[in-house]
Amino acid sequence: MRRAKKVTNKLKQAQQKSLRQRALEYLGKREYSTAELGQKLKTYADESDDIPALLTDFKARGWLSDARFTAQLINARKVKFGSAKVAHELKEKGIADDLIADAVSEIKENELEYATEVWRKKFKAVASDRHEWAKQARFLQSRGFGFDTIKKVLSKQDNDD
């Protein structure tokens, strides 16, 4: 009986180590939000695993940070996407509203420049009619840029030519 209990404890330790190891492997590849990493680990955990305790330990050690994840995602996305799309993606990843608000304000500072560059890469030519203007506006809107920014980009292109 004692031996069986000892074997069971070792198996639990191996599982916990395996879950911990899996989490470290994920974090070794890229940054994750706390909610996102927890979701990934749920697929490998059983009911005896304490995922929240593991995530808290990782946060305490500085291995897991929602702020660092947010900064990384902003740097990767701000050149291609507008503040609305980035904010939506952050919300999907379980980031806190205050971090999202900071991220959106950071992106909005240069959103017109980013939108102009995205437009220039895709279209290169000013809209010749309403249909083309609407097509370009829909494209920029799908990238998460606001309507005010879209109007500025498309009217700026009209004025430049």
What contacts 24+ positions apart, CB below 8 Å, involve 90-96?
93/33, 93/35, 93/36, 93/69, 94/33, 94/34, 94/35, 94/36, 95/33, 95/35, 95/66, 95/69, 95/70, 96/66
pTM exceeds cut of 0.85: no
pLDDT < 50 regions, the chain: none
Give the pLDDT score at 156: 75
What is the identity of the amino acid at 135? Answer: K
**What would you report as the CA-atom Rg of the chain, rounded to the nearest whole angstrom?**
23
Give the pLDDT score at 72: 94
Give the pLDDT score at 151: 93
Give the pLDDT score at 15: 54
Give the pLDDT score at 122: 93
Dump pLDDT digits (tens) for 91-107: 999 999 999 999 999 89
